[in-house]
A and B are shown apart, each in its own frame.
Chain A
Amino acid sequence: MTGVLSAIELAYWQQTTIRLLAGLVAVLLLTGGVVYLYLFKFVSFMQSRLGPMEAGPYGSLQLLAEVGKWIQKEDISTKDADKFIFGLAPAVVLVSTFLMFVVIPAGPNAVMADLGTGIYYVLAISSLSVIGILMAGWASANKYALMGALRAGGQLIAYELPLVLGVLGVVIQAGSLNLQDIVYAQSNGEIFGISAIGNPYILTQFVAFAIFMIAVQAELTQTPFDMPIAESELVAGYQVEYSGIRFLVYFIAEFATAVGFAAIASTLFLGGWALPASWGFSDTAMHVIGPINVSIKAVFLVGVVFWVRFTFPRFREDQLQRLAWKGLIPLALANIVVTAILKVVF
C-alpha cells in the first residue's frame, strides 16, 4: 500500500488542490460539529433542556436548517452606512480565520503549507480579524456598533500580548517556530529520562497553557470576556446591523476561530497529531491516526472554552484590562524567564 502510494508523484497543483479542498472540508465539518455538539446540545443539557430535537435524529440537521434560513433573509444595511466597507467586513474576518488553519499539521504529511515561521504566522494572521471588526463597527453607522467595535479593538489588543508571550515558553522549549517541529519535539521528548508519554508541553508549560487558554477565551470574545457583543448593554455590538448571510459569515468565523485556536493549543501543548514516539507507531499508521487524534484534542479544548462560556458571568471592561496588563503579561514574562533559565541549565 505504502509502496503504491509513494510511487505516485503528484504535481504541485494536484497536491495543492487536494490539500486545500481537504482543509476546507475539515474546517467546515469541525466547525459544524462543534456548533451542534456544544452550542446546541452541551449548553442545553447544562440548562436541563433538550435543545433542538426536530430536524434529523436528535436535531443533528438543525444547523443545515439554520443555514437555509439565513440564506433566505433580506440583506439590510442602514441608510447612512458605508455600504462597501459594511459588505466587505465579514469577508476580512472569514479570510483571517481560514488562514489560521493553513499551518496546523494533522499528520506526517497532512499540512497545507509547512511554513518555517509556523506559530508566528498564526499569531500574526489571527490578529487581522480585528481590522474586519473595526471596519464593521465603523461602517454600520450605529452607536452600539461603534462602541462594540472599539471595545473589541481594546480587548483583542490587550489579550494579543499574553497569547504571544505564552507561546514563547513553548518556542523556547522546542527551539523552533515550525509547528511540525514542535509536534516532533513533544513526541520524541522525555521528562527526567522517562519517555513513556513523550513530553507534551502541558506538563512542563502548564502556566503558559493556562495563560494561552484565558487569552484565547478573550480573543474569541466568549463570556466572561464578551463585552464587545454584550447583548444586555450593546445589543450585539458590531454585529447589530448585520442580517442574513453576512451575519452567518460572522457566525461561521467565530466558531471556526474557536476550532482553530483549540487545534493550535492542542498542537502546542497536547502533542498535536503525534503519539509518543516510544509507542512505536509507523508513519503509515499515523497518516490515519493523526487527523483523528488532533481533531479529538481540538474538539475537547473547544469544549473547555464553551464550558467556561456557559458557567461564568461577564467581566467589566476595566477588570478585563486589569487582568491582562497587571496579571497575565507579567506572569507570561516571568514564565519566559524561568523557562529560559531551565533550558540553559539543563
Chain B
Amino acid sequence: MANPLSDYLRSFLTVGLFAALAVVLFFLLVGISALLRPDRHQEQKYIAYESGADPIGSMWSQSQVRYYIFALLFVMFDVEAVFIFPWATQLEWFGTFGLIEMFVFIGILLLGLVYAWRKGVLKWA
C-alpha cells in the first residue's frame, strides 16, 4: 500500500503526536495530584498575595507597559529574520550579487535602529 502521507507531512504528524504526549503528561500529573491532595476550604486562602497585607483595590489592576515601543521594533526585526533565513541557506549559490543585495537590506534596517536610537526610543521612559 502506498503511503497515504508524504514523509514531509509525517514528520509534522510526529511533532503533533509529541505535543499530544506532553498534554497527556500534564493532565496525568494534575489527575494524580487531584486524587492525592487535600481540599480544605478556608476563605483566607483565596485572597491574592500582597506581601502579607490585605490587598488594596481591584485585583484586575493595570500596569504601565514602559517598553511597548520595543514590541514594534521586535516585529520589524523578526520579519527581517524571516527574510534572511532563506537567503542564508542559498548564499553559496547567490554569490556576490546576493551579498550586496543583503547589505542593502540590512543597511536599511540598521538605519531604522539608529533612527530609533537617536530619537531616544531605546531609553527607559
Contact = CB atoms under 8 A, between A and B. Distances in A.
A113 B12 contact: yes
A267 B116 CA distance: 35
B14 A113 contact: yes
B46 A235 contact: no
A158 to B, nearest CB: 6
A72 interface: yes
A7 to B, nearest CB: 21
23 contacts: A71-B37, A74-B37, A74-B39, A79-B59, A80-B60, A98-B25, A99-B18, A99-B22, A101-B18, A102-B14, A142-B48, A143-B55, A146-B61, A154-B65, A157-B70, A158-B74, A165-B77, A175-B88, A235-B49, A235-B51, A246-B30, A325-B122, A344-B98
Nearest to B35: A71
Given A113-B12, A158-B70, A240-B49, A74 B22 contact: no
Q: Sort chain B's interface into a size bin.
A: 35 or more
Contacts of A344: 91, 95-96, 98-99
A78 B37 contact: no
A75 B37 contact: yes
Given A79-B48, A160-B74, A321-B67, 6 more contacts: A71-B32, A95-B19, A144-B49, A176-B89, A318-B123, A330-B110
Given A325-B70, A340-B102, A161 B60 contact: no
A146 B63 contact: yes
Interface string A231-257: 000010000110011101100000000
A75 B37 CA distance: 8
Q: Is chain A's binding surface mostly helix, strand, loop or mixed? A: helix
Interface in B1-59: 8, 10-15, 17-19, 21-23, 25-27, 29-30, 32-34, 36-40, 45-51, 55, 58-59
A61 interface: no
Contact of A329 (B37, B89, B113): B113
Contacts of A341: 99
Q: Sort chain A's interface into a size bin.
A: 35 or more
Q: Is chain B's binding surface mostly helix, strand, loop or mixed? A: helix
Given A71-B37, A76-B46, A113-B11, A168 B21 contact: no
B46 A78 contact: yes
A240 B59 CA distance: 14
Nearest to A178: B89
Given A143-B61, A326-B117, A80 B48 contact: yes
Contacts of B92: 175, 343
A136 interface: no
Contacts of A336: 84, 88, 106
Given A90-B26, A154-B67, A244-B37, A142 B18 contact: no
B14 A249 contact: no
Given A102-B18, A112-B18, A340-B91, A79 B49 contact: no
Contacts of A113: 11-12, 14-15, 18
Interface in A63-106: 70-80, 87, 90-91, 94-95, 97-99, 101-102
Interface stretch (A15-23, A52-60, A296-304): A15-23
